C-alpha cells in the first residue's frame, strides 16, 4: 500500500525519475530468458549511463542471446539520477555484443550517437528505433504513462 501511495504522489507531482533496481530486474527477467533470444531490445526512456536496464541487458547480452540493444534518453547528459534534463543533446546507444573477449561491454563496443531531437519517445527518430525493436523494456515517464502505452499499442 505504501508503495502505491508514493507512486500516486509522484504521478500527481509529475516526478518521473524512478529507477528500477538491478536486483529487481534480474529477479524478474530470469523467467523470460527464452523470449529474448535473437531479439532487439529497446530501452527508449532510459539514460544508458545510469540505467540498470542497460546494465542488465549489456552484461547479459550473450547469455540472453540478444541481437541488439538500443537505449535512448531525453536530453540527459549528466550521470546524476535527478538531472533536470537541461543538456543540449539527447543520445542513443547501440550494443551488438561482445567483440574483444573481455565479457564486459566497453566504450569501444557500444555505438554512441547524438540524436537530432530531444530524445522524446514520441519524436520521429525515436519512433523509428521503436519500429526496429522486438521488445521494449524501460522506465517510462509516469506522467505520460497512458500516452506511452498508447504508442506501444
Calculate what percentage of the chain has a pLDDT beyond 70: 79
The pLDDT value recorded for residue 81 is 44
Taking only the tens place, the pLDDT of each residue in 9-34 is: 555 554 444 568 899 999 999 999 99
Do the Cβ atoms of 36 and 101 come closer than 8 Å? no
Nearest partner of 46 among 144, 113, 140, judged by Cα: 140
pLDDT band, very low/low/confident/very high, at 77 (cuts 50, 70, 90): very low
> pTM of the prediction?
0.79
The pLDDT value recorded for residue 76 is 54
Structure-block grid coordinates of residue 98: 561482445
CA distance 41 to 136: 6
The mean of the pLDDT values for the chain is 82
Taking only the tens place, the pLDDT of each residue in 100-142 is: 777 778 777 888 888 898 889 999 999 999 999 999 999 888 8
Amino acid at each position: 500500500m505504501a508503495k502505491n501511495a508514493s507512486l500516486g504522489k509522484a504521478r500527481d507531482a509529475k516526478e518521473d525519475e524512478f529507477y528500477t533496481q538491478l536486483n529487481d530486474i534480474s529477479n524478474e527477467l530470469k523467467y523470460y530468458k527464452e523470449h529474448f533470444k535473437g531479439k532487439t531490445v529497446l530501452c527508449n526512456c532510459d539514460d544508458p549511463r545510469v540505467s540498470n536496464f542497460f546494465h542488465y541487458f549489456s552484461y547479459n547480452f550473450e547469455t540472453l542471446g540478444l541481437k541488439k540493444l538500443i537505449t535512448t534518453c531525453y536530453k540527459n547528459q549528466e550521470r546524476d539520477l535527478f538531472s533536470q534534463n537541461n543538456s543540449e543533446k539527447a543520445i542513443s546507444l547501440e550494443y551488438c555484443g561482445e567483440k574483444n573477449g573481455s565479457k564486459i561491454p566497453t566504450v569501444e563496443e557500444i555505438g554512441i550517437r547524438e540524436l537530432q531531437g530531444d530524445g522524446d519517445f514520441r519524436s520521429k527518430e525515436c519512433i523509428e528505433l521503436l519500429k526496429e525493436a522486438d521488445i521494449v523494456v524501460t522506465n517510462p515517464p509516469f506522467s505520460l504513462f497512458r500516452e506511452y502505452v498508447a504508442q506501444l499499442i
